């Protein structure tokens, strides 16, 4: 009788339970690790800043954001949404809609190589011609550099250095000098280097780890590409910004506070993350 009850329990939870090494009459049940995706994000004052929508396969299909500009000017706000179009299981297009002023709508088109790695991206403003594009190169599966173009001119080239944990610890990029109207000056070059420090925790989960070109958090960070490429949470840009985290019982970031170098905000640049459990 005991065996029949246990068998029925296992059958009812098929796919969720694992049976292992049994003595006669004994069944060991092991539940899989819990999986979570980001559901909502609140600011320091507990205002809802961002909300995330997923499809039945737990793929992110929309991010809706309402935030105070810079999160420190309480009288100003901005609202926008990003919608994700999938092809062959990967995001092929991100549609950005400006809900505040309806002036900054654009689409990012994403192209992949035969290994499913991002090979090229194009930004189209208001469904017009390509205004900017980037090309990506890899070594042993790791992104090691990009070339960015804006209206046909090279903006910069870069190189990316990882540590053994898969975190970007050095970012070297070359960019031309700019004239007084912000246009690149031909045959000029400026070399800059950024270095980063990480903790050993996992980043917030949006099911978009491969989409390193996209910032899923609802505020801009100067090191967004390097942070998205890395396995762990960035805690410091050497001689620059810092990121402070607290973690929940599952080891996922519960709060993130950003401090910019030499800049003090009226209220802390802090985000509170709420997750939802998925199968």
In DSSP notation, 203-264 reads PPP-S-TT-TT---SSS--TTHHHHHHSSEEEEEETTS-EEEEEE-TTS-EEEEEEE-TT--
pLDDT beyond 80 at 274: yes
Query: What percent of the residues of the chain are helix, what percent strand, and what percent coil, each to the nearest 5?
Result: 5, 50, 40
Shared domain check, 175 and 164 = yes
Q: Which of 164, 165, 160, 185 has the alpha carbon at shortest distance from 175?
A: 185
Shared domain check, 95 and 180 = yes
Shared domain check, 56 and 15 = no
Between 79-93, 149-163, 192-206, 242-256, the lowest mean confidence (pLDDT) is in 149-163
Between 131-140, 176-185, 232-241, the lowest mean confidence (pLDDT) is in 176-185
The dihedral sign for the CA sequence 201, 204, 206, 211: negative
Q: Which of 107, 136, 105, 106 has the alpha carbon at shortest distance from 119?
A: 136
Residues 222 and 240: their CA atoms lie apart, in Å, by 9
Shared domain check, 158 and 262 = yes
pLDDT beyond 70 at 39: yes
- pTM of structure: 0.78
pLDDT beyond 90 at 263: no
Tokens, residue 27: 């069944």
Q: Which residues pair with 127 in a beta bridge?
A: none
Residue ranges making up the domain that contains 15: 1-32
Shared domain check, 130 and 4 = no
């Amino acid at each position: 009788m005991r065996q029949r009850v246990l068998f029925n329990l296992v059958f009812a939870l098929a796919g969720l339970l694992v049976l292992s090494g049994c003595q006669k009459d004994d069944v060991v049940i092991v539940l899989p690790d819990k999986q979570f995706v980001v559901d909502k994000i609140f600011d320091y004052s507990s205002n809802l800043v961002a909300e995330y929508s997923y499809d039945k396969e737990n793929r992110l299909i929309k991010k809706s954001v309402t935030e105070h500009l810079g999160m420190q000017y309480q009288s100003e706000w901005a609202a926008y949404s990003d919608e994700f179009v999938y092809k062959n299981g990967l995001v092929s297009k991100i549609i950005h809609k400006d809900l505040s002023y309806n002036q900054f709508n654009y689409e990012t088109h994403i192209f992949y190589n035969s290994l499913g790695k991002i090979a090229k991206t194009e930004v189209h403003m208001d469904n017009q011609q390509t205004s900017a594009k980037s090309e990506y190169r890899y070594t042993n599966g790791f992104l090691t550099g990009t070339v960015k173009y804006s209206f046909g001119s090279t903006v910069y080239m870069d190189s990316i250095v990882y540590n053994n944990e898969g975190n970007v610890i050095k970012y070297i990029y070359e960019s031309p000098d700019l004239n007084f109207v912000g246009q690149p000056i031909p045959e000029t070059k400026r070399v800059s280097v950024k270095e980063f420090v990480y903790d050993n925790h996992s980043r917030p989960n949006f099911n978009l780890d491969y989409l390193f070109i996209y910032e899923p958090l609802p505020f801009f960070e100067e090191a967004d590409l390097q942070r998205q490429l890395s396995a762990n949470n960035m805690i410091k840009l050497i001689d620059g910004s810092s990121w402070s985290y607290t973690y929940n019982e599952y080891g996922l970031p519960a709060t993130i506070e950003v401090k910019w170098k030499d800049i003090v905000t009226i209220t802390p640049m802090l985000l509170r993350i709420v997750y939802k459990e998925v199968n």
